[in-house]
Structure formats: C-alpha cells, structure tokens
C-alpha cells in the first residue's frame, strides 16, 4: 500500500512537471482532447514508475547484490514483507494496471474497435486533384514525400523503380522518422534533406501549408502537385496508379533487352484486384492488426488471417514466378514491403512469429528476385526494422533493437530471367532511376 501510494504521488508530480519522458509521451500519443492527454500521461508515468519500483517474480540486479539472494529489487518490498501475501497482490495489481495502460496506449497509437481490433484510420487527402495529369514530358510534375521505414511509402518507391521513372519526373523527399523532433506524428526533415517546397520543419507543417488549420494524421506517402502546390493524395493506392500512368517509354537493360513495364495490365486487372484485397486484409494490414490487438480474440482472428495469406502466397509462388504470372505487376509491389519487414520486425514486435519468411522457400526466393531486379535501392532494411523497435513504445517500452536476421538477399534466387513486356519501337529511357 505504501509503495502504491508513493508511486501514485510521484506519478502525479511528474505529470505536472515537464520532463523528457513526458515530452516523448506527448509526441508518441496524440490525443483527441486535453483531458484524455493528461489522463494518458498520468497513467503512463504511474505504470512506468510502478513497474520499475516493485519486485515481481524476477528481481532486478543491484550494484552490490546480496551473497544469499544473488540480487535485490530497488525497494526490497518482497524481502521485507515476511510471510505477508505481498507478491500475489503486487503481481495482480501491476498486471491489471499494465494491461489497462497498454490498452490505452495502443488505442491512442492505433484506433480500436469495441472488440479490441485495430481499425486503420481514413486518409484525409484521399480526394485527388482532378486536373492533375502527370506526364514524363513535364519535368518536376510531382513531389513525393516518403520515409524509409514505412511499407506504404515503400510501395510507391517500388513502383517508381520497377518502371524506371526518372527523378526529373517525380521528385522524392526522404523524410526522417523521429517523433521527438516532429510536432505531430513521426515524420520530419533531416538537416541534410530539407523540405524543398515550403521549408517546413516536419510533415505536419507541410500539411498545414497545403490545408491551413489541418487537424488529423500527418501520414506519408504524400504526393504534391509542384505546379500548383496542392495535395494530390496521401494514399499509396492512388500514387501507384499515377506512377503506372506515366508515359516513361521503354528502357534497355544491360543485356540489351528493351523493357516497358506495365504494373496493371488490363487483362490482369481482376486478378490484381483480387490479390490487392487479399493481401491488404490478410497481410499488409493483417500484421498491424496482430500487433495492435488489445484482446485475445482480436489477435487470434488477425493471426489466423496472416498465416492463411502467407500459405496461399507460398502456394501461388510455387506455380508462377510472380503472383500473376511471369511478369511483375502491382500485386508483387503490394506484397514485397511486408515480406521484407516480416522476419526482422513483424514476427517479433507484432507477435507474428508463427510464420517465418525464411521457412517459406518460394516466398524467400521471390523476395530475392524482386530485391535483386529493382528493389535493392528502394529500402534500407536495417533502418526500417529498427524504427519499429525504437518508436513503438507501447509494444517495446525498452526500445531495445534485437539482432536482425540475415535475409540472405544477395543469394541466387533461381527463378529465371524476367520477361520484358513486348515493346514495339522502343524509345529507351536514357536516365532510369533505381
């Protein structure tokens, strides 16, 4: 009782005093009102102090451990409690508080349904500028804001790389993932990669310039019409369609083969659409539904979908080189970012270890195929994986980054040579971007 009282008093004191912990908490937990924000801070600090102050089953190591016990806890509550039933009370109390705070933290980080399932918010800039018609003949048509850790940004970068879109057509700005520097959300501008459009400090300021007084999630990717300084879309599906609509002509590879990549050929639209729906619900968003679930039932439903989707992908790739046949399509672009991050991040921090890409031979070889053909320069995988462990504080309070698995990305994939789309009268693109 004394420990709980002191902890509560300390938590309330810290809540009213500016500290680095509270600054980080405020940054990572955007609230819908000041009242909820204050409550979240108080409970979060209360739980953090409580868990560091009391002894649970395994005591923390002390600088000068007792020769008999081998270690001691900071307050020595269990050692001094004698025969009183202290441990069950402490464990039960800490577990209840920790679970309650975890639910609050996750629901603030990731909106929840009533049954504890993660519900991805809508994108505020989904309405596209109707008169925006990108073309390779108009240099600097679109400015694309994106960040390396984000799988949705990665989709758009992959589409650009697969079609070899020149940087003169779509200009990219690589954001820094740092919720301490950012005023809302996690995206800001690094000193060596400033905002070329507004000189903004973070993505929130870009949103505010595009729509003054904007209230909502400041997400990436974000496409902006450079000519009018108007938002195009912050939905990766829309941006992939724009990339695919660009008339960039064909390019010639090192073997002298002319390529003209079409990510969404008309004859495969239905099949690509079916894969898009399946991959989003079962895998792309499915891993997030596992990680952000706050009830066992919600997790069980999400994890079953992830396992089933991976099994279906493995089966399909045992029959065809790519998801829709012998050519790369938008379906492959949608799958690759999740597969790349799966073993290093999702299997652990999102509790998806029931499957491993390394144990799926066809998916593993397909991943290396995509990576070696055009995906190599679209991601820094170590940085992407580390971001999940550094900044998803509710899921990894210690911020310890585990040792990453070796994806063996440069090993031969053994899946044959890509087949270029027929390109009559090719007009090679002399400046492909990678």
Where do runs of H (alpha helix) occur along 195-268? Answer: 203-210, 236-245
DSSP H/E element including 159: helix 151-162
Could you say which of 288, 346, 371, 388 is catalytic? 288
Rounded-to-integer distance, Cα 345 and Cα 415, Å: 26
With H, G, I as helix, E, B as strand and everything else as coil, classify residue 360: coil
Which letter does DSSP use for residue 400 in this model?
-
Rounded-to-integer distance, Cα 298 and Cα 290, Å: 8
With H, G, I as helix, E, B as strand and everything else as coil, classify residue 239: helix
**Cα dihedral value 66, 68, 71, 74, nearest 10:** -60
Could you say which of 150, 188, 324, 352 is catalytic? 150
Environment class of residue 405 by beta-carbon count within 10 Å: exposed (0-12), middle (13-18) or buried (19+)? middle
Rounded-to-integer distance, Cα 166 and Cα 243, Å: 11
Q: What is the CA radius of gyration of the chain?
A: 25
With H, G, I as helix, E, B as strand and everything else as coil, classify residue 370: helix
Rounded-to-integer distance, Cα 18 and Cα 27, Å: 13
346 catalytically annotated: no
Which residue, among 110, 128, 109, has the nearest Cα to 118 in the 3D structure? 110
Rounded-to-integer distance, Cα 295 and Cα 56, Å: 23
Q: What is the torsional sign of CA 321, 330, 165, 160? A: negative
* 188 phi, psi to nearest 5 deg: -145, 180
Rounded-to-integer distance, Cα 314 and Cα 101, Å: 38
**Cα dihedral value 302, 270, 331, 234, nearest 10:** -80
Rounded-to-integer distance, Cα 358 and Cα 398, Å: 27
Question: Where are the extended beta strands (E) located within 152-302?
Answer: 170-177, 187-188, 222-225, 230-233, 251-252, 258-259
150 catalytically annotated: yes
Catalytic residues: 150, 288
């Amino acid at each position: 009782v004394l420990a709980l009282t002191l902890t509560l008093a300390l938590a309330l004191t810290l809540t009213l005093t500016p500290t680095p912990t509270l600054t980080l908490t405020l940054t990572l937990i955007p609230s819908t009102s000041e009242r909820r924000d204050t409550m979240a801070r108080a409970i979060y600090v209360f739980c953090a102090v409580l868990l560091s102050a009391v002894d649970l089953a395994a005591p923390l190591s002390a600088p000068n451990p007792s020769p008999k016990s081998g270690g001691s806890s900071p307050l020595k509550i269990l050692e001094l409690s004698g025969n009183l039933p202290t441990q069950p009370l402490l464990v039960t109390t800490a577990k209840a508080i920790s679970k309650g705070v975890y639910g609050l933290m996750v629901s603030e980080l990731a909106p929840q349904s009533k049954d504890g399932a993660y519900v991805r918010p809508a994108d505020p800039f989904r309405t596209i500028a109707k008169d925006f018609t990108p073309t390779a003949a108009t240099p600097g048509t679109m400015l694309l804001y994106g960040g390396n850790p984000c799988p949705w940004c990665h989709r758009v970068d992959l589409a650009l790389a697969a079609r070899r879109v020149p940087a003169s057509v779509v200009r990219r700005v690589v954001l820094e993932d740092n919720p301490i520097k950012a005023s809302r959300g996690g995206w800001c501008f690094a000193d060596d990669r400033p905002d070329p459009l507004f000189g903004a400090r973070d993505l929130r300021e870009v949103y505010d310039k595009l729509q003054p007084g904007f209230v909502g999630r400041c997400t990436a990717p974000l496409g902006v019409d450079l000519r009018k300084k108007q938002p195009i879309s912050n939905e990766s599906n829309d941006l992939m369609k724009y990339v695919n609509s660009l008339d960039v002509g064909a390019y010639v590879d090192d073997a002298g083969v002319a390529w003209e990549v079409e990510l969404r050929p008309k004859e495969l639209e239905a099949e690509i659409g079916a894969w898009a729906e399946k991959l989003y619900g079962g895998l792309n968003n499915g891993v997030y539904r596992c990680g952000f679930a706050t009830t066992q039932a919600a997790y069980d439903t999400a994890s079953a979908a992830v396992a089933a989707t991976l099994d279906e992908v493995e089966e399909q790739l045992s029959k065809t080189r790519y998801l829709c046949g012998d050519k790369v399509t938008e379906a492959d672009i949608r799958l690759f970012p999740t597969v790349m991050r799966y073993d290093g991040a999702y299997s652990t921090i999102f509790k998806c270890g029931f499957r491993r890409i390394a144990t799926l031979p066809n998916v593993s070889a397909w991943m290396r195929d995509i990576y070696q053909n055009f995906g190599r320069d679209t991601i820094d995988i170590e940085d992407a994986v580390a971001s999940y462990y550094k900044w998803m504080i509710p899921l990894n309070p210690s911020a310890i980054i585990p040792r990453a698995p070796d994806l063996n990305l440069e090993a031969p994939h053994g899946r044959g040579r890509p087949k270029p789309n027929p390109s009559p009268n090719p007009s090679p693109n002399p400046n492909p971007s990678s």
